Chains A and B, each alone.
Chain A
Amino acid sequence: MSKFKIILTNPAVCAMLNYQSRSIWKTKCVTRIFEIDYTGTNAIVVRYPHTQEYTYTVDNVQYTGQYTVYSYYLIGKNITVNSFKYKPYVQHVNTYGISSSSFDYNAISATGKQQAQNNIVFDYNWLIDTSDYVELNINRSDAEILATWVPCDTMQSVPETFNTSARNCIFGIPVRLFSTNTYAITPVIFYALHQTYKSAYVLRDYTSDSTYDEYRFSASPLEQIPSIASDLRYLADTNAISGALMDNFLFERNGNVKYDLSLSPEQNYITEWDLIQKSAQTYFDKGKPFDIFGSIISTSSTSGVFWNPTHYNQTYNSSIRNAYTPPAQFGTMDSLGAGFPSFSFGSPYIPYENVLFLDIPVSDLIDESNNYVQTGKLPSDAIYVETDDDGVPKQWKNTDPDPEGEDGSQNISVDDMELPSPTRGALTAGACRYYLMTKEAMETFLHWFWYENHGLEDVFDNFWTNMYGNLKETILSYQYFPCTTSALGTISSTQENILLGRLVSTQTASRLNGLPSTILLGSINIKNAYKHFNTFVDWEGYTNFQIYLPFAGIVKLPTKSVQNATLKVYYCVDVGTGQMNYIIKSYPNGGENGFVVLETTTPIGETIPISLMDDMENKTKLAQTAVQVVGSTIGLAASVATGNIAGAAIATGGLVSSAANASNPTNANVMIRTAEHSGQRMISGVGQIANEAMQYQSDTPSAVGQITGLMGKWSPLKCYLIIDYPTVDNKSNGYNRHVGYLNYKPYKLSSLTGFTTCVKPQIDFTNTAPLLKEIEELYQLMESGIIL
């Protein structure tokens, strides 16, 4: 009889901690341990993808697409599963109390909700049960429940006022069957599986299913797994879906692809918060919290299998295959099968982030896995994690953190660089006035300005005293800002007469009378989802981060400052100059303190000429800006002594001279036009040089700006994080066996196995005394590589 283990973990916590430490692994990550005793030989776990078509409707807007989930199959020669034991590691603490007698074990009613509404919140604090394993022998139906309930293990907190707001409510993966192949499930679920560490699950009694038409999920019948004979298949059957390692994930809205999440598995994140929040909030606004699962926890003595200790001793004595049949006590409720969820990605040490198979190989290659069953030859991609006598993966022991920080942990101490809220500036100085005007109001004003008689008394006064001067000179600018009004400043509550120098016009408008606040444009978490290797390749020189900022272009970010951090993009607008300032703060490890990694200013205000002088000034500014940008970039390029960069600089020489000539007053009239029309192309070319130069520069943030806010309107208006990382192929080519991984730590050689090279070996010979010639040969061998 053989035995292997399946360890389910909190993916977010584990990913954050990188599985580096046994102690952390045991106390923070593990949520469930399953032990499977089986007889048979050449057992292997195969991960197999199932692709599904689906439609999804929010507020009568239909989304269609497909996604792929993966099932794990245990295959082997003459495999029989003898027992399936469950060992909980997490102590469930009921923080909020059980207010309803209809539910037990951490189920509570939401504040302010009536029983009929049955908002059920499961709350788990991440406390570890220090007692020994509680073993559970389960029947096959219960095995299914175990699988489908796994996502709920990751609940951590309950929204404080979730009866009025969705907040962080996330919905668990178990689904409610409404009709054949129609499930209540939303993309929220998938997002939840990646964001679980700060989420809660809101579940609802399934008896009110008739009210949930808007949230239905239609899945096509699953494809049949083609290559594994049914008599060899365990853990999950053809109808079982387990987990949601998403792939091939497409959102379509009314036929148009809106979100393409067809990325490699480790990259799959649903970033469309609007959709998520909207679906949740809509539901909560209706007072009918989203419902995806039935009353799995009830007063029934046969339910609550997962939590009720009296059910921990059920006997399992047959194969758990075909375990997708819903347990009787849940009526029409369906589940996702008997497989084991995987919502994550591989790492150098473990097969999949939150589903760890120990003491059994895991492969994605069905054909090679079948061959393994017959011949014993492991698949080329097989990952085999052995445990020691303590049940701890040996590989993890090898990667225990050391004080030198080679485990990838960072010594970070950040005092928050707080963004101020200034109260004094051009807007409040009193010398100028900034009026907020609609297009119609401006037309009225201009008509008054150019054509209406401003009053004979004023005219005569001005003729004799010039007290009003040239009114045109009192208009400093007329600008358009393609951003929310609140970004421009605080607005007076009343309409005021527009002042033109000393002249109080009869035209009125609201006025900006206070400085704007810094506005958070967006944030993105660059945590472990973007660490692909857990090695140095995730860092400087190998993995690069850039960010696209509306109106500013693409800017390189310092990898060392943004990896493993949350980025927040702030902006503020200075109406007086028409400039916008971007501030990007990095919050390492998702902490509360952040530091500025980039600050760049770019034009956003579009100046609209209302006099000839305005137009001339605008064009001159345009040319001067072009010259400055070109000049600075050429300086940058020139500092990089590479042929490509130099060539690129030469190639733009014409543009440079054109821009320079444009700044010459004698050529201004002609060259201003040249600069205006070629400005965008110039910036594009210059940007290319700058970007290329940056790749060879030290890791310093830099920006490539637009000339005017006018042009930025035609560029994307949201932020984009651009990540590129290399492809490392060190597993299939035997790199570790023939070259070895870098280590540079002292070891007693008897503790090592495999290829090893030593640095300046030293040996005390206590047995046979070698000759000098032998010692020299021995040391040479140890330096070049020996096999232990």
Chain B
Amino acid sequence: MIITLYQNKSDITEVSKSLTTIHTYNNGTLRDGTSIVDPTIFVEAENIPEDLVNYMYIPKFNRYYFVYTIDNVRKNLWSITGHVDVLHSFRTDILASTQLIARQEKKRNNYLVDKSLPITAKRNFKCIEFGDQFIENSYYILTTMGGVAE
């Protein structure tokens, strides 16, 4: 079984990972009792750069995996346990799909009320004067009864 080890510096939630190839082995074997989702692979190698490897690809399964552990079973035999990265493995179909987007980093529907938006208690105030001013009048109004006679 072929297995390619990578260094992944992308966030685990990133769909398309940015990978740096470390090494490809042709002698991988699937440990009994493990699955395609959480496989453990035995690799015969003199050394595996544990400080670099955190990701792998198994062509036979056509899946990419996060590497959980790398254990030295014995001299020149390594055990690599991983968990499938469903995002990168199925990225072609994911990216081709059309989804209803709830939240997005760059596209915004400005007038949907977003109650999660951090709004501070600090308020901004403006007081703007406008219009004419009421003026003092020099007249008084006397109201009397008597509207008939002229």
Q: Do A and B bind each other?
A: yes
A residues lining the B interface (CB < 8 Å): 263-264, 267, 269, 271, 348, 395, 398-399, 405-408, 429-439, 442, 445, 473-485, 488, 498-504, 509, 512, 521-524, 530, 532-537, 539, 541-542, 550-551, 569, 575-576, 605, 608, 717-730, 733, 735-737, 739-750, 752-768, 770-771, 773-775, 777-778, 781-783, 785-788
Chain A residues lying within 8 Å of B139, measured Cβ to Cβ, are 436-438, 485
Residue B32 at the chain A interface, CB threshold 8 Å: no
| Given A501-B145, A748-B98, A778-B94, A756 contacting B103 (CB threshold 8 A) | yes
Identity of the chain B residue whose Cβ is nearest the Cβ of A18 in the assembled complex: B110
Contact between chains at A759 and B100 (CB < 8 Å): yes
Instruction: Write the nearest CB–CB distance from B57 to chain A, whole angstroms.
Output: 12
Which segment of B42-50, B72-80, B84-92 sits at the interface? B84-92
Interface string of B120-150 (1 = CB under 8 A from A): 1011111111111111111111111111110
Report which of A524, A535, A778 forms a contact with B111, defined as CB distance below 8 A: A535
Interface string of B91-106 (1 = CB under 8 A from A): 0111111111111111
Identity of the chain A residue whose Cβ is nearest the Cβ of B114 in the assembled complex: A742
- Distance of A642 Cα from B63 Cα, bound (Å): 58
| Given A406-B110, A750-B95, A754-B106, A786 contacting B140 (CB threshold 8 A) | no
- Distance of A558 Cα from B134 Cα, bound (Å): 25
Q: Can you list 15 residue pairs at the A/B interface with Cβ under 8 Å?
A: A406-B110, A436-B140, A480-B140, A522-B131, A523-B130, A523-B131, A717-B135, A720-B128, A721-B130, A722-B126, A722-B128, A729-B118, A750-B96, A755-B104, A766-B96
Report which of A433, A488, A724, A754 forms a contact with B144, defined as CB distance below 8 A: A433
Chain A residues lying within 8 Å of B126, measured Cβ to Cβ, are 263, 267, 530, 721-724
- Distance of A155 Cα from B69 Cα, bound (Å): 71
Instruction: Write the nearest CB–CB distance from B113 to chain A, whole angstroms.
Output: 5
Instruction: Write the nearest CB–CB distance from A336 to chain B, whole angstroms.
Output: 28
- Distance of A522 Cα from B99 Cα, bound (Å): 51
Contact between chains at A536 and B141 (CB < 8 Å): no
Contact between chains at B93 and A764 (CB < 8 Å): yes
Contact between chains at B119 and A437 (CB < 8 Å): no
Contact between chains at A482 and B136 (CB < 8 Å): yes
- Distance of A530 Cα from B125 Cα, bound (Å): 11
Q: Nearest 3 A-B pairs (CB), nearest first?
A: A522-B131, A740-B103, A754-B105
Chain A residues lying within 8 Å of B107, measured Cβ to Cβ, are 398, 741, 743, 745, 747, 752
Instruction: Write the nearest CB–CB distance from B90 to chain A, whole angstroms.
Output: 6
| Given A743-B101, A748-B98, A749-B99, A269 contacting B128 (CB threshold 8 A) | yes
Contact between chains at A744 and B100 (CB < 8 Å): yes
Report which of A407, A485, A551, A778 forms a contact with B90, defined as CB distance below 8 A: A778
Contact between chains at B109 and A787 (CB < 8 Å): no
| Given A727-B124, A746-B99, A480 contacting B147 (CB threshold 8 A) | no
- Distance of A480 Cα from B136 Cα, bound (Å): 10
- Distance of A509 Cα from B140 Cα, bound (Å): 11
- Distance of A483 Cα from B132 Cα, bound (Å): 11
- Distance of A748 Cα from B125 Cα, bound (Å): 42
- Distance of A406 Cα from B114 Cα, bound (Å): 13
Which segment of B1-9, B10-18, B21-29 sits at the interface? B10-18
- Please name 15 further chain A to chain B contacts, defined as beta carbons within 8 Å, in addition to the given A438-B138, A475-B144, A773-B37, sorted by A numbering: A406-B112, A408-B110, A430-B147, A431-B147, A434-B142, A442-B140, A474-B144, A476-B144, A535-B111, A741-B105, A775-B86, A782-B99, A785-B103, A787-B10, A788-B16
Report which of B87, B119, B143 forms a contact with A727, defined as CB distance below 8 A: B119
Instruction: Write the nearest CB–CB distance from A564 to chain B, whole angstroms.
Output: 12
- Distance of A723 Cα from B111 Cα, bound (Å): 20
- Distance of A267 Cα from B126 Cα, bound (Å): 8
Contact between chains at A537 and B119 (CB < 8 Å): yes
| Given A475-B142, A476-B143, A536 contacting B94 (CB threshold 8 A) | no
Chain A residues lying within 8 Å of B92, measured Cβ to Cβ, are 767
Main secondary structure of the interface of A (DSSP, over half): mixed
Contact between chains at A481 and B137 (CB < 8 Å): yes
Chain A residues lying within 8 Å of B128, measured Cβ to Cβ, are 269, 271, 524, 720-723
| Given A408-B111, A757-B101, A575 contacting B143 (CB threshold 8 A) | yes
Contact between chains at A786 and B98 (CB < 8 Å): no
Chain B residues lying within 8 Å of A746, measured Cβ to Cβ, are 98-101
Chain A residues lying within 8 Å of B15, measured Cβ to Cβ, are 749, 786-788
| Given A501-B146, A729-B118, A478 contacting B37 (CB threshold 8 A) | no
Instruction: Write the nearest CB–CB distance from B128 to chain A, whole angstroms.
Output: 5
Residue B70 at the chain A interface, CB threshold 8 Å: no
Chain A residues lying within 8 Å of B116, measured Cβ to Cβ, are 739
Contact between chains at B11 and A498 (CB < 8 Å): no
Chain A residues lying within 8 Å of B118, measured Cβ to Cβ, are 728-730, 733, 735
Contact between chains at B143 and A721 (CB < 8 Å): no
Question: How many B residues, CB 8 Å from partner?
Answer: 71
Contact between chains at A759 and B142 (CB < 8 Å): no
Instruction: Write the nearest CB–CB distance from A95 to chain B, whole angstroms.
Output: 32
- Distance of A397 Cα from B90 Cα, bound (Å): 29
- Distance of A201 Cα from B75 Cα, bound (Å): 88
- Distance of A535 Cα from B111 Cα, bound (Å): 5
Contact between chains at B140 and A439 (CB < 8 Å): yes
Instruction: Write the nearest CB–CB distance from A722 to chain B, whole angstroms.
Output: 5
Identity of the chain B residue whose Cβ is nearest the Cβ of A521 in the assembled complex: B131
Report which of B36, B86, B104 forms a contact with A778, defined as CB distance below 8 A: B86
Report which of B63, B98, B125, B140 forms a contact with A608, defined as CB distance below 8 A: B140
- Distance of A724 Cα from B125 Cα, bound (Å): 4
- Distance of A605 Cα from B137 Cα, bound (Å): 11
Report which of A550, A745, A774 forms a contact with B109, defined as CB distance below 8 A: A745
Chain B residues lying within 8 Å of A782, measured Cβ to Cβ, are 94, 99
- Distance of A545 Cα from B30 Cα, bound (Å): 69
Contact between chains at A723 and B125 (CB < 8 Å): yes
Interface string of B48-68 (1 = CB under 8 A from A): 000000000000001100000
Instruction: Write the nearest CB–CB distance from B138 to chain A, whole angstroms.
Output: 6
Contact between chains at A432 and B145 (CB < 8 Å): yes
Instruction: Write the nearest CB–CB distance from B54 to chain A, whole angstroms.
Output: 17
Identity of the chain B residue whose Cβ is nearest the Cβ of A544 in the assembled complex: B123
Instruction: Write the nearest CB–CB distance from B106 to chain A, whole angstroms.
Output: 5
Which of B37, B134, B140, B146 has the most C-beta atoms of chain A within 10 angstroms of its own C-beta?
B134
Chain B residues lying within 8 Å of A436, measured Cβ to Cβ, are 139-141
- Distance of A782 Cα from B110 Cα, bound (Å): 22
Instruction: Write the nearest CB–CB distance from B117 to chain A, whole angstroms.
Output: 6
Identity of the chain B residue whose Cβ is nearest the Cβ of A499 in the assembled complex: B146
Report which of B90, B100, B129, B132 forms a contact with A763, defined as CB distance below 8 A: B90
Contact between chains at B103 and A757 (CB < 8 Å): yes
Identity of the chain B residue whose Cβ is nearest the Cβ of A510 in the assembled complex: B139
Instruction: Write the nearest CB–CB distance from B8 to chain A, whole angstroms.
Output: 13
Contact between chains at B110 and A348 (CB < 8 Å): yes
Instruction: Write the nearest CB–CB distance from B119 to chain A, whole angstroms.
Output: 5
- Distance of A249 Cα from B16 Cα, bound (Å): 52
Contact between chains at B119 and A499 (CB < 8 Å): no
Identity of the chain A residue whose Cβ is nearest the Cβ of B89 in the assembled complex: A768
| Given A435-B141, A481-B137, A768-B90, A744 contacting B130 (CB threshold 8 A) | no
| Given A742-B103, A786-B15, A474 contacting B127 (CB threshold 8 A) | no
Instruction: Write the nearest CB–CB distance from A574 to chain B, whole angstroms.
Output: 11
Instruction: Write the nearest CB–CB distance from B20 to chain A, whole angstroms.
Output: 18
Contact between chains at B143 and A536 (CB < 8 Å): no
Identity of the chain B residue whose Cβ is nearest the Cβ of A578 in the assembled complex: B141
Which of A478, A754, A787 has the most C-beta atoms of chain B within 10 angstroms of its own C-beta?
A787
Contact between chains at A475 and B147 (CB < 8 Å): no
Contact between chains at B101 and A264 (CB < 8 Å): no
| Given A749-B94, A778-B90, A781-B86, A399 contacting B124 (CB threshold 8 A) | no
Instruction: Write the nearest CB–CB distance from B129 to chain A, whole angstroms.
Output: 5
Report which of A264, A480, A539, A575 forms a contact with B124, defined as CB distance below 8 A: A264
Contact between chains at B147 and A535 (CB < 8 Å): no
- Distance of A476 Cα from B106 Cα, bound (Å): 70
- Distance of A293 Cα from B33 Cα, bound (Å): 88
| Given A739-B103, A764-B93, A768-B62, A727 contacting B120 (CB threshold 8 A) | yes
Chain B residues lying within 8 Å of A482, measured Cβ to Cβ, are 134-137
